[in-house]
């Protein structure tokens, strides 16, 4: 994918205009621009977010991601803190962007 084409896929803040255009390669490039080196932990969270988006067509609220991390990844009460260690500039700013979500304007029950 050329840089010009990639720029067309994003809004002015760097979020995908159409989450269906997301690929793992694109996620790696977005993450690199955000200063993130994606680990297995990142990919598990991204995978959960993408699955939830596919089911509901809306970016999942951070509380659902925290619950997933607490229950499925075994972080328990430390899940929220770990989410912000993995995405230090925040859930919306980095996790949603890397996972290929449109920029969340207002949260739903996604």
pLDDT digits (tens, 9 = 90+) for 35-85: 999 999 999 999 999 999 999 988 899 999 999 999 999 999 999 999 999
42 falls within a domain: yes
Asked if pLDDT for residue 109 goes beyond 70, the answer is no
83 falls within a domain: yes
105 falls within a domain: no
110 falls within a domain: no
8 Å CB contact between 38 and 25:
no
In the three-class reduction of DSSP (H, G, I as helix; E, B as strand; rest coil), residue 48 is classed as helix
Mean predicted lDDT score pLDDT of the chain? 88
Return the exposure string of 49-87: e unless at least 16 CB atoms fall within 10 Å of the residue's CB, then b.
Answer: bbebbeeeebbbbbebbbebbbeeeebeeebbebbeebb
Return the exposure string of 11-33: e unless at least 16 CB atoms fall within 10 Å of the residue's CB, then b.
Answer: eeeebbeebeebeeebbeebbee
Q: What range defines the domain where residue 73 resides?
A: 3-98
79 falls within a domain: yes
| Domain count along the chain | 1
106 falls within a domain: no
């Amino acid at each position: 994918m050329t840089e010009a084409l990639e720029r067309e896929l994003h809004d002015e803040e760097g979020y995908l205009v159409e989450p269906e255009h997301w690929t793992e390669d694109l996620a790696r490039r977005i993450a690199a621009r955000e200063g993130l080196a994606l680990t297995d932990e990142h990919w598990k969270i991204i995978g959960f977010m993408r699955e939830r988006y596919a089911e509901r067509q809306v970016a999942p609220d951070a509380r659902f991601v925290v619950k997933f991390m607490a229950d499925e990844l075994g972080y328990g009460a430390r899940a929220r803190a770990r989410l912000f260690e993995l995405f230090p500039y925040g859930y919306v700013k980095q996790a949603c962007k890397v996972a290929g979500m449109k920029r969340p304007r207002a949260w739903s029950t996604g």
